[in-house]
Amino acid sequence: MKPRHICFALCLTLLAALGAAVADTRLNSGQITTSLLGVSDSRLSITAAELRQRAVANVQNFPGEVPPPGHLLVIPELDKLAQFTVEINFDFDSAAIKPESYRDVGAIADALHNPILLGYGILVIGHTDAVGTRTYNLGLSQRRAEAIRNALVDPFGVNPAVLEAVGLGEEQLQDPKHPKAAVNRRVQLINIGKRFCFGRSGEQFQCP
């Protein structure tokens, strides 16, 4: 084989490998389902409303653009539950989901339609970076979490009774040393335990 042809073949092989690597990093419902498993009888004792109130109180108790060291909002219960983190892109300073992120929202919906996860309650938690005021970011993250919840319900058909949206703003930075970094802008899905059980005929009822 001529050197030129060998080079061309090697380039094609490299491009194919790179393409496969990119494809492997794309979000899929199997990844999400696997991450959200691992919760059986565990339940979250704090409600979504109480979680939102803790975030509001943290902003009020420690005012300023960035929480002082040691005063990020910590909810140990959440860390013990099965969860998945994903980046969803929104229009700037808006709760409008960018079109390119609807594929990821659809992957989340596919996971939540999996029979293994049916009936489990899911917290949709929105986080922001530290650009802007903490009070504003708290409100923005709530609107974005609600936008994702609403999209999961319509058009993707997830049962609204199992979804609760909570915005925590910048109160739980992923990278506190770099509060304005993009890694802090994320959405957490947390399995908070069984909400609904099913009878022999498939009827749904609230678990005791």
**Using one digit for the tens of pLDDT, what is the confidence trace for 119-174?**
899 999 999 999 989 999 999 999 999 999 999 999 999 999 999 999 999 999 99
Is the per-residue pLDDT at 35 higher than 90? Answer: yes
Q: Model pTM? A: 0.81
| DSSP helix/strand/coil, 205 | strand
Q: Count how many residues are written for the chain.
A: 208
Q: Note the pLDDT tens digit of each residue in 64-86.
A: 777 667 777 888 888 889 999 99
Cβ(123)–Cβ(190) under 8 Å? yes
List all residues 6 or more positions away from 90 whose beta carbon is below 8 Å from its beta carbon.
96, 97, 98, 101, 144, 147
Most confident stretch, 25-29, 132-136, 152-156, 177-181: 152-156
Q: Which CATH architecture has domain 27-206?
A: 2-Layer Sandwich (3.30)
Most trustworthy range by pLDDT among 9-23, 36-50, 62-76, 89-103: 89-103
* Spatial CB neighbours of 98, under 8 Å, sequence gap ≥ 6: 89, 90, 91
DSSP for residue 67:
P
Task: From 87, 88, 97, select the one nearest 147 (Cα to Cα).
Answer: 97
Rounded (10°) angle between helices 102-113 and 134-153: 60
The ranges assigned to domains in the chain are 27-206
Place of tokens 């794309």: 26
pLDDT, position 48: 92
Q: Is the pLDDT higher at 7 or at 176?
A: 176
Reply yes or no on whether the pLDDT at 103 is more than 50.
Answer: yes
- Sign of the CA dihedral running 144, 146, 151, 152: positive
Band of residue 20 on the pLDDT scale cut at 50, 70, 90 = very low
